[in-house]
Amino acid sequence: MSRLVVVTGVPGAGKSTVIEGALKQLKSQGVGYRVINYGDVMLELMREREGVIDRDEMRRVSTGPYREIQRDAARRIARVAKRKPTLVDTHCLVKKPDGYYPGLPRWVLEELKPESIVIIEATPKEVAARRTRDVTRKRDKEILDEVMEHQILNRAVATAYAALTGATVGIIHNREGRLSEAVKE
């Protein structure tokens, strides 16, 4: 298995944007990484099996089929990630209608075997503003305390994932208008 780094953060924290920048920077240094968006793989399977067509609707699918699709997505990602160092764009915890759901339960960790887990963070105010500004997505509108709670729990569960796998945990602050600093970090 090649090196695999999991990149997480609440919706709108800036994972995909930071990853895009990091990929360009790594490429300019001659370091080839592949990026796999876990949500893309989930969406493909959801479309086939559940008829869900919107990425932001997936989290409302009931936990039984959701868990199965998550597991199959992990297998698919692990297969693809075998040959090249990979960044996986994903979530520590998915906020479903019935509660927080682990993005990396034991069976996903066993497939992916991450070397590092990165959490991209921003202040709740910045996250809320990014969600409102980004009209390409249908992210949940939350009060600032809810965004804060999600970020606190992400840190907690990321360290639990680390304890299970021996992965390291890194926290990157993606400050407003200072994307290049987060990319560099």
> How far from 143 is each of 93, 106, 128, 176, CA to CA, in Å?
18, 31, 8, 19
- Please tell me whether residue 177 binds ligand ATP under the rule CB under 6 A: yes
- Window 66 to 85, contacts with ligand AMP (CB under 6 A): 70
Count of alpha carbons within 13 angstroms of residue 96, beta-carbon side: 19
Among the residue ranges 73-81, 95-103, 134-142, 158-166, the one whose residues contact ligand ATP (CB under 6 A):
134-142
- Please tell me whether residue 19 binds ligand AMP under the rule CB under 6 A: no
- Please tell me whether residue 9 binds ligand ATP under the rule CB under 6 A: yes
Among the residue ranges 89-97, 114-122, 153-161, 174-182, the one whose residues contact ligand AMP (CB under 6 A):
89-97
**Which residue's CB is nearer to ligand ATP, number 113 or number 139?**
139
Q: How far is the CB of 29 from ligand AMP (least distance, A)?
A: 26
Q: Which of 40, 54, 68, 134 binds ligand ATP (CB under 6 A)?
A: 134
Count of alpha carbons within 13 angstroms of residue 126, beta-carbon side: 15
Residues in the chain: 185
Count of alpha carbons within 13 angstroms of residue 67, beta-carbon side: 9
- Please tell me whether residue 42 binds ligand AMP under the rule CB under 6 A: yes
- Please tell me whether residue 116 binds Mg ion under the rule CB under 5 A: no
Q: Which string of b and e fits 44-73 if b means at least 16 CB within 10 Å?
A: ebbeeeeebeeeeebbebeeeebbebbeeb
Q: How far is the CB of 166 from ligand ATP (least distance, A)?
A: 26
